[in-house]
């Protein structure tokens, strides 16, 4: 199969994954009416990251799917960020205020991206490469910083909470398809590999943390229950049916162990 065809197919798969990646998270947020544990700053960082990533992919003339991909990322990230505002514990925003916030940001970010595309296309024609390098580094840093916000939450709470593993898996798959698509380009774009490879590596780390802090205790508990060796009763806070080992609970729904109390 021709490399160009493979590049386009993989790029399209990456764009499709990024098109639906946040939908499981958005649905879970809606069902829970809660975004505790989900980092609103992560969503905002991703929304902003779509600007330099879109500029880089368009000016470097990546396949069409990879040019559209960052725009989808920005829109879905802003929608999820609006949910964080609406369901927030400290200060809840009204629906109208959330709509005004995301619309204003979307227009501002779109205007900035359009201006940068024209500016960097002109710079590229003049042989200037450093502006594109800045865009690549900036997008990689913003995407990575968004995911790193969850590492701090995992460190503090010793669990992966508030984030859907389905979303993580789809996003990681999108990074992987996009990364391989870049490899099949007419020339190997090192900065493109760095952009998608950085986020992919961080998502793999989230999966590992989920296995250690979420899956391992869950499996151990089930084995103890099956063998009848569970000594302490477990008090459960009310959990929605969407909660499972693949969909992490929010901070207010974490299971708590309590000592046996005699009457």
Contact 227, 171 (CB under 8 A): no
Query: The tokens 């898996």 sit on which residue?
Result: 169
DSSP the chain: --HHHHHHHHHHHHHHHHHHTTHHHHHHHHHHT--TTS-HHHHHHHHHHHHHHHHHHHHTT--HHHHHHHHHHHHHHHHHHHHHHHS-SS-PPPHHHHHHHHHHHHHHHHHHHHHHHHHHHHHHHTT--HHHHHHHHHHHHHHHHHHHHHHHHHHHHSS--SSBHHHHHHHHHHHHHHHHHHHTSSS--HHHHHHHHHHHHHHHHHHHHHIIIIIHHHHHHHHHHHHT---S-EE-----TT-BTTBPPPGGG--EE------
* Cβ burial, residue 212 (10 Å; 0-12/13-18/19+): middle
Q: How far apart are the C-alpha atoms of 151 and 158, rounded to whole Å?
A: 10
What pTM does this model have?
0.71
Q: How far is CA 172 from the centre of its chain?
A: 9
Q: Which is nearest to 87 in space by CA: 250, 227, 210, 229?
A: 250
Tens-digit pLDDT string for the chain (263 aa)? 567 788 888 888 888 887 787 887 788 888 888 887 777 888 898 899 999 999 999 998 888 888 988 898 899 999 999 988 888 766 678 888 888 989 999 999 999 999 999 999 999 999 988 999 999 899 989 988 888 878 888 888 888 877 778 888 888 998 899 888 888 877 778 888 888 888 899 999 998 888 888 877 777 778 877 776 555 544 434 333 333 333 444 444 444 443 434 43
* Cβ burial, residue 227 (10 Å; 0-12/13-18/19+): exposed
């Amino acid at each position: 199969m021709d490399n160009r065809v493979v590049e386009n197919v993989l790029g399209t798969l990456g764009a499709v994954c990024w098109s639906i990646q946040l939908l499981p998270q958005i649905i879970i947020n809606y069902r829970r009416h809660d975004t505790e544990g989900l980092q609103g700053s992560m969503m905002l960082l991703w929304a902003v990251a779509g600007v330099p990533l879109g500029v880089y992919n368009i000016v470097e003339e990546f396949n069409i799917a990879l040019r559209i991909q960052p725009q989808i990322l920005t829109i879905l990230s802003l929608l999820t960020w609006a949910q964080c505002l609406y369901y927030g514990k400290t200060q809840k925003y009204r629906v109208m205020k959330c709509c005004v916030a995301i619309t204003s940001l979307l227009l501002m970010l779109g205007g900035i991206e359009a201006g940068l595309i024209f500016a960097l296309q002109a710079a590229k024609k003049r042989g200037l490469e450093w502006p594109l390098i800045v865009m690549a580094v900036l997008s990689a840093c913003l995407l990575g910083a968004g995911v790193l916000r969850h590492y701090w939450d995992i460190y503090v709470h010793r669990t992966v909470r508030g984030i859907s593993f389905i979303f993580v898996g789809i996003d990681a798959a999108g990074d992987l398809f996009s990364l391989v698509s870049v490899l099949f380009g007419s020339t190997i774009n090192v900065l493109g590999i760095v952009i998608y490879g950085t986020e992919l590596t961080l998502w793999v780390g989230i999966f590992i943390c989920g296995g250690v802090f979420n899956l391992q205790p869950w499996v151990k508990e089930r084995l103890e229950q099956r063998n009848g060796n569970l000594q302490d009763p477990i008090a459960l806070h009310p959990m929605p049916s969407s909660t499972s080992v693949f969909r992490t609970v929010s901070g207010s729904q974490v299971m708590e162990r309590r000592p046996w109390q005699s009457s």
